[in-house]
Structure 1
Amino acid sequence: MSAPHEPLLADLTFGFLDRSTSSNRAQQPQLIANVDGNTMLRALKHELHTAVSFTFSVAFVTSSAIALLKQAILDSGASGTIITSDYLGFNSPSVFRELLNLPNTTVRIFNDNQRGFHAKGYLFEQPDTHTAIVGSSNLTHFALIKNNEWNIKFAAMPDGDIVHQIQTALNDQTRNSVLLTSEWITEYESRYVPRHVPVVQSTNEGGNDDLPIGTYDTPFTEETDPTDTLERGLEAIASGVLPTHSSANEAPATALVVPNAMQRDALIQIQTVRDAGEKRAVVISATGTGKTILTALDVRAFQPERMLFVVHREQILDRAIYEFQRVLSAPQTDFGKLTGGSKDLGRKYVFATIQTLSRPDVLHTIDPESFDYILIDEVHKAGADSYRRVLDYLRPQFLLGVTATPERSDGFNIYELFDFNVPYEIRLQRALEEDMLSPFHYYGVTEYTTDQGQTISDAADLSRLISSERVTHLVQALETYGHAGVPVRGLMFCSRKDEAHELSALLNTRTVHNQPLRTQALTGDDPISVREDVVCALQRGELDYILTVDIFNEGIDIPSVNQVVMLRNTQSSIIFTQQLGRGLRKATGKEYLVVIDFIGNYTNNYLVPIALLGDSSRNKDLIRQKMIQAEEAGAIAGVSSVNFDLVARERVLQSLAKTKLDSLGALKKEVLDLQYRLNRIPTLFDFATQDTLDPVVLASKEGNYWQFLTRTKLESSKPNALEHQTLTYASTEFLNGKRPHELLILDLLIKQGGTSGIDATHRFLEKNRLRTDKATLTSIRRIFDLSFFTEAERKKYGTQPVVRVEHGAYILNEQILAQYRSGKLFREHLKDILQTGLHLARHRYSWSTPLKLGMRYSRKDVCRLLNWENNQQSTMYGYKIDRATQTCPIFITYHKSDTITSAVHYEEGFINQSQIAWCSKSKRTLQSAEIQALLSNTNDLHVFVKKDDVEGTDFFYMGKGDIHSPVETTQKNQDGLQVPVVEMTVDLESPVERALDDYFQTATS
């Protein structure tokens, strides 16, 4: 049998005959059921990566599924064919327009009226094999990510009979199909009848005002699978929430607005605060999650005699009044406005602008106790003098503030203003996961680059920002990534006013999808009336895009916006999120938001993944890891997605590598932000459980957290020498949670007065499901008595054993124990380290196994976790065999520094996702004792890989490996002489994820 068959044969034997067969598992048959991250979307993206061509034969398609796969299809460069149909009228005309817009893809429509079309198959042609995925998944976003599906993926050689059978079936479908064209779509539109199913109207802000309140019928559109919609509708009918009427015009004359899940939770928590006697509270709720409806529902629950609603912009008032009328079912005469042009102060429900309300001649005409309930919208602005005057003067029974972004840069503590009561918080990521916002598909696209290799930046001359070439580049991106099947309602965020005006004029001379572009620029120079007119024109469909500079960051409600284009440098993650949020409100007929972000050579590019992934850890490793996981999974927060073209992705990674996220000032601000919320100095455990700043990053800045607090003048009392050494030791060695044993033993010793019997301690570890083999226990002792560490480390930690083992017991250092008992701050900080470390061990690393696949470890970590006698990080280099533990870690740096000499500059890297090419140290032959030991299979090989030295000292753990196919060869050394080396192949026990493989193979610098 020829060599190309052998890996596939091993994989097929492993999958179909004997799972104990040795196989690299790159092509073994798999069941894909959308469980535990094993999704159809992930599988399709994986196959597209290596495909020469692909064919999808699927009955049902949605635009959002196309959006999920678009970047993968673009990156693959493969030629594709999609065979689908108009079966059951599921595929809307807009879906066919999106399909027609796919690059390098031919679309055919099955046209045999005698047979229904219900195929669900995906075929990929690779250079040597074919891979097919056949099962239950249509090309819809639910079927690719969320639904419980069954799909079988298998590989075969091109001459295999199953390939012939599939190709025969595809040939039959092709013969009985017609080519998708614009003319076909126009004809289909003329006969297309949307299918209807009843659903419950959302209480989120931004619904369709033209629809009756309560319930309505909605068509089978690309918003969801038909089965999903039907199940939701039937469930609502069965529960009595939804009547069984079939006409959209038969809604009851009055309907009670029912809170959604988030609002129900929030209302309960707000009431709990009131029941506790509190008079103030602030709710943090992401833009678009129904804050106005929530406040109206709480007013309905409170039943005030009079209510005051305060906003910072008059444009918000009419919408707020409308929502409150819906919820409160009160007559219109109960509602009034207090603005520059209206003075309805005598109404039951008064809606006021802060500008008018805060004027002394207005404010002091109001009895301070006139309103028993006061609401402050966008309360993060309440630090201004105008708000303080109002809040200092009025005395309501209850004051509620709502905001999406409580963080402020001016030092004002919003939480203190509300007595530190935060009954409820829902941030962007959770709101997306809870399906409270419109899903989004983000595309990071490379900014225009000249023929000379210069990338345009927002600091460039206006002439370059509005050059014909850049405008063409922009239009091409709108064609490629923007909506092709539905009308666009877009916002473009520009960096400068002159750019916005000039770019708008130029765009108005271009076309997208054969339609003339209609755009208008709006800036802070335009009066409110002009802004309102332009926004209305966008909503009516008279404009495609509004080009703006910052004025729409917040305070604007255009639910129909389905496209956001970013043409400027990201200055802060908050502003980025605000601008993203302009398109996240749900609206009838809006399936998803498209975000097109033009990424140049900006130092701030690292803010993009921080904002998109909701990561505020300031830990570069965690941010990279989340970015890789998002790319591998293909989706985040439900059915949203983050996609970068190859150049844009590398620019983001370069920015992340070069930036300093953990400056003293930046960390201090993070501490102050949480302190403002908690009304006390936060602990490391607070940071771990609040999912904010990484406590390991914080504690490592000055050796330990207490020292950081004194260094930043947040704590006046300093640790003494013993306290500093002990806390630095515990923070450096145990806080990261990479091994829980030492944390548990220290915690046990403290609780038991400093002593614990050896047998009892080991039973305690076993009870906590931890290994207690001889090598691990010996390693723990060496960590505690400091003999594991280098001389410099021992000096830093105080030279005396922290814990010693004698007389059949573990004994805590008596000086440390005495200081723990007498020193309150020391006691609190040590307990905090132990509690936080155990939390991280449970939630970040593997509790019961030494090393976790895909996590990052330093050479020193590896010495400790493999139970080596001492820290040998300085002499480990590429690999090292430890004869005592019979382990050999292999460290591979994919892109070696240019300063490394040729004698150690090996060509190493992934052959495929299961095999790595690896090279010995120089001056080694097949007869060398070291090589013989490696080939003997008596040592456990552990493989660690990092991208380059810019990333620091930590490596990704790839799992165990086996060496085979050693070949003795030569390589030039620094003197130009040929020296012997041995090249080998390492087979990994677990294949590396495709996104991680891609990440390694592209250079950061």
Structure 2
Amino acid sequence: MFEEIDLPLSINTSSEDPSAIFFDPVLKSAVTYDVGVGYFTSGWIADTAQGISQFARSRGKARWVVGHELQEKDLDSIVNSKAVADKEFQAKRIFEEEVAQVFSALKEDARLALAWLIRDGIVELKVAVPTNKLSGIYHAKNGIFTDEAGNDIAFSGSYNLTARASSNWETIDIYRSWTSEEGRQRCEKKKHEFESIWQGKDPNLLTFTPTSKTLDRIKAYATTGSRPYSLPSGRPAIPQAIQDDEGQIRGYQEKAIKAWFAQNGQGLFCMATGAGKTITALTAATRLLDYFRTQQAKLIIVITVPYVHLAEQWADEAAFFGYDAIKCYGGKDKWLGALQSAYNQLLSVDRDHLVAIAVNDTFKNSQFQSFLDGVRTNFLLVSDEVHNMGAENIAQKLPQKARFRIGLSATPIRHNDPFGTKAIFDYFGEPVIEFDIKDAIDAGFLCKYNYYPIVCELDPEELDEYIRLSKRIARLMAMGDKDDFSTSLKLELIKRAKLTGSSADKKRKLKQLLNDSQDRQHTLIYSSEAINDGERDIDRIVQIAGRDCQWRVAKFTAEESKEQRAEILGSFKAGDIDAIVAIKCLDEGVDIPQTKTAYIVASSTNPRQFIQRRGRVLRQYDGKGFAAIYDFIAIPPLDKLGEDEETFNIEKNMVERELERIVEFAEISENYGHTLSTLREIRKKLKLLGA
């Protein structure tokens, strides 16, 4: 409580540290924090990190009114607008255009902290611009704290909540509501002043809330790292920060949840990267829990994910909703006892829900399966990247006791595995929403992109091997059921994919593009898994990018430790390395929205893979603009097509498979017209235009 804090009447920066003496101890006990500042900076957020973290853990609520320095032309556009609505429109437009500049001025850790605070609904932000009689900037330097007992602390003075302020001679006057009548009146006056500004009632200040688009751009920074504070667990609820005034989340998410309930709590959420499938699933789960609470019933929620980094992201999101999830990975000694103890509490009167997050390897093991077999209450299974659940060694372990089921994936269909696909649909049910990449781009959740197909011709020996493999594949397919992909057939298909993915011309074209590139930072390069003459393709590409083209580059594979991968991603985000070369490790769940350019040197014919890779590059990030995708297409030499009909048809089928991907990528790109000319020339030579 505030009464226990020993505070001076005033502080000056000549002899005292305002954060240590005032801000940190007060924030640790505060439940609300209203502040008006002309500027806020990285220095101030870093200085008050300890207090802000405690404030966040306590689910404090802060309202910040921040000044915004405007150019003279910007002020004119606001002042000259006749109606208040027009003034506000101009102010929002200007702030939206400059939000990247405002946030780029903050250091990475401060940007991350502020983004999480806004995303979690702990900080509500408004911007103040002088109007009518005033010009210049909103230059307030005051704030009001309140504790659980209703005591107030107000402050005012020259200290401007910036790192520079602590190096200037600055002063803060402090007022306490419980010490004297004068203190109470001063606190009341500050509260009244702030409330007037917050409500937009000050006649000489235009106070506006940034648009949802601007706030989404700010919140996007929160995807670049973990929450820098913990949130308290308690009664789970849908966070106010993601709801509109009517208690709704995004329209398409609400539609999906409604359809899921209409299907008796079963269905697939087919949603593109960036569309918020995690939020949608947790909202559905929370509404289901709310229903069971009205029935005095209980609910177990089990969430499965393929990788630990995805599990950590889910734990962060679950905490946002107020869930204290049990993390089931890293060895049974770390989770089995906690899981069983929580379930025993559920069977008593101590708790009404339980959330467990398990990686797929844990989900399959005997201890976790034994726990699932023993569940005797309402049970919801949520499976992220649900296409993985169709694998034979896991599909048979899906719990039939889970009456409620959610499967999440941009593409739930398993490539060349009709039986696994059927298992997914039979268990989870039909899709309740199909929100693809085009929908996400149109809605502004993913950025627009330019697409450049890079045509690479197979060398003669590569083409001979491709034709040999294709003939063997055709024989194997003729021998078996068209829906049955035997082990032998799969192996030959893999060999052929590695051959096209590692062609020599792809490496030649990549080297040329990397040498010519004017913008090197935040680039992904996808390599094949092939090994040629004892050298792995990924190592050769790292050599091309690093030694030959002088890029700062790192390899990102299963061989690197968890700590090494985290270090690589951190360096990539900070711009300390230019490019990451990967095979598959970046395909699912790694959020690196800074990525601007992708060179897809190798890609399988699996639609899910290239959809995931495209989505990985299209994550929104402030200042990013358009993304660029360079897709390396392997084709036979067009001027030396096979003379016999069988060889020609093999070569034609090869190009047709590649063209399917080109069309998929190109049709929603910004430079579709440019790509069409490339497609037309290839089709003409392969007699695909009916010519």
State the TM-score, normalized to the length of structure 2.
Answer: 0.50
For the pair shown, the structure with the greater C-alpha radius of gyration is 1
- The TM-score normalised by the length of structure 1 is 0.35
Q: Which has the higher contact order (CA 8 A, sep 6+)?
A: 2
Going by fraction, where is helix more abundant, 1 or 2?
2
